[in-house]
Structure 1
C-alpha cells in the first residue's frame, strides 16, 4: 500500500520542529518495515494526495485540510479543525468535559481561539481583570478576534498523550523534567503529584477524541489536591517526545489496522 505522511508547517511547531518531524519519521519507519511504500511531504508542498491508499497527517493549514477533507486520513480534516480553541471549548462544554471555570480568583488565561498557538504571545496569563482587558486589546490589535478566556486553576499541570482505540495512553509532569514549549507550566509551580484516577482521565480523553474526530492526540490538564482534573488543552498529533518510540508503535499499528480494513472493503 502507498501511504503518505504529511509534515506540519513549521509555524505550527513553535520550539518543536524537529520533535514533530521525529515522530512522523518514526511512524514511517515502522510502516516501511511492514512492507508499505512511504512518502513524506511538507504540507506546503502537498499535491495529489488522492493518489495514496492511506494518509497520516500532522498538517494544520486551511488549504491542507481542504485538500484532505474528502479523504480518509489519520487525523481527519474535520477533527483537526475542531481543535481550534473556540470550537474545542464549545464542544467540550456541550459534552460535559471537565474544564476550568470562566471566573476565578487566581488570574486568567487568554488563548488564541482561531488556530493552534504559533508563538508564546498566543497564550497569555493575566493576574487581574484589568490586565485581562489590556491583553484582549493587544490580541485584537494583532488581528486576533477569536479567543477564549478561562480562570487559572491551581494544581499539578499534567501532559497526556494518547492514540485512541489502541490502549496507548501516557502522562507526564513537565516540571519534573523541565521539557517545556513556552514555560507557562511554571505558573503552577513544581508538581506535587496529587493522586488522580488515570483510567478515568484516559476514558475522558478518549471520549473527547471521538467527539472531536481525531485518533492521535495530546493535551494538558490540571489536577488539584482532591484529585479532580480540568482539561485545559487538547490538540491533534503532538510530538510525543517523552514517549516517541511507544507512541510510534501505536500510531503505526492504528495505520496498519486501517489499511487492513481498506483491503477487506
Structure 2
C-alpha cells in the first residue's frame, strides 16, 4: 500500500492572511513525512484541483475555496478519503461552527447570528453582549475588518451596516470574554496537543490579541482544555485542528475560534510528524 499516490492540495495565499509562509511550511513538512514513509504526495494548487480531475483516492488538503470544498465533498461521497474532510472544513466557517458548538454544548461565548440587513436591536433584546465581537458569518476572517471589537450599541449598528455595504450578509456576534487568551493545536485521536499564550509569543494575524492583553497566567486544567477541543473536533468532523479559547478568572474555558489545519508554527516539526502518522492510520483503516 505504500506505493499509494496521495493528492496534496495546498491552501491558496488568499486564505492565509499574514501566514502564507507558515501555512505552506506545515503542509510541506507533512508531505515530507509521508514521502519518507514510502508514499508519494503529488502537489496541486486549489486552482489546479478545480480545473482538472484528480485521480488519487486519498487527498490531504488545506484548501478553503468554497467551490473546492464542495468538489472535495463530491469526491468523498464517491469514496475518496480526505484529511481534513470537506465537510469538516465547511463546518469551520463561522456561522456553521458557532451553531454546531452551541447546539452540542461545547463551551462557547454567548452569541447571536443575524442578517446584516435586519434590525440589530431585535436580536439584542434582553441580551447583555457589550462589549462584543462582530465576525463575518459566511467564511473565515480574510481581512482585519472581518473581525471587529465593539464597545457600544451605536458602534455595533455602524459596524453591522459597514459589513452589509461590504457584501457580508450574515454575522456572528460573540460576547467579549475577559481572561487569558490561549491558542491551541491538536490532531484528533492522537496524544499530540500544544498550547501557548499568543500575546507573549507575538503570534498574530490581525493584532486582536491586544484586546485581552498580557495573560495573567490564570490556572486552568489542561485535561479539560484537551477534552473540550476533542469534543469540538468531533462535532465539527475535523482531524487536524487549531483555535483559540479564553480562560476566565475562575479557570473556566470557552472556545472562541476553531480552525481546520492551521499553521502549527510554534510546533511544526512535531506536529507535521503526528499529522502524517494520523493520515497513514486513516489510510490503513480505509484499505
For residue 78 of structure 1, the aligned residue among 87, 93, 101 is 87
CA offset at residue 203 of structure 1? 1.2
CA offset at residue 106 of structure 1? 5.1
> What is the RMSD of the two structures over their aligned residues, measured on CA atoms?
1.2
Partner of 2:189: 165
Pairing 1:231-250 to 2, within 5 Å after superposition: 231-250=255-274
How far apart, CA to CA, are the structure 2 residues paired with 1:107 and 1:239?
29
Partner of 1:142: 166
CA offset at residue 211 of structure 1? 1.2
TM-score by length of structure 1 reads 0.96
- List structure 1 segments (4+ residues) > 4 angstroms apart after TM superposition: 103-106
Pairing 1:203-222 to 2, within 5 Å after superposition: 203-222=227-246
Q: Deviations over 1:145-197 (max 9, x none)?
A: 11100111111000011100011111110111112111100100101111111
How far apart, CA to CA, are the structure 1 residues paired with 2:203 and 2:228?
25
For residue 58 of structure 1, the aligned residue among 56, 62, 67 is 62
TM-score by length of structure 2 reads 0.89
How far apart, CA to CA, are the structure 2 residues paired with 1:7 and 1:16?
13
How far apart, CA to CA, are the structure 1 residues paired with 2:164 and 2:285?
47
Q: Determine whether 1:25 maps to 2:34.
A: no
Q: Deviations over 1:220-242 (max 9, x none)?
A: 00101110111110110000001
Q: Determine whether 1:92 maps to 2:101.
A: yes
CA offset at residue 111 of structure 1? 0.2
Conserved in 1, the CA contact under 8 Å of 2:130 and 2:150? no
How far apart, CA to CA, are the structure 2 residues paired with 1:105 and 1:192?
23
Partner of 1:253: 277
**2:214 partner SS:** coil
Conserved in 1, the CA contact under 8 Å of 2:184 and 2:243? yes
CA offset at residue 105 of structure 1? 6.4
| Paired positions, count | 262
**2:211 partner SS:** helix
Q: Determine whether 1:6 maps to 2:9.
A: yes
Partner of 2:116: none
**1:66 partner SS:** helix
